[in-house]
Amino acid sequence: MAKPNYAFEKRQRELAKKKKKEEKRLRKAELSDSQTQDIQPPSNEDAKKDP
């Protein structure tokens, strides 16, 4: 019977954690981008229409 390769298993777990963390970071960045778009002041085009 072959012995388990613990180093390989550990590396796979680390890669999975890293991938999950990166996906979470991208989701947070996307969420913050959409929130900043909602908060932005009216553009100059809107200001030109009023007068």
Work out whether the CA dihedral 23, 25, 31, 33 comes out positive or negative.
negative
Residue 5 pLDDT grade (very low, low, confident, very high; cuts 50, 70, 90): very high
CA–CA separation, 20 vs 13, rounded Å?
11
- What is the pLDDT at residue 25? 96
Name the residue type at position 10. K
pLDDT tens per residue, range 6-51: 999 999 999 999 999 999 999 999 988 887 776 666 666 655 665 5
The DSSP symbol for 48 reads H
| Three-state secondary structure readout of 9-45 | HHHHHHHHHHHHHHHHHHHHHHHHHHHHHHHCCCCHH
Output the pTM of the full model.
0.56
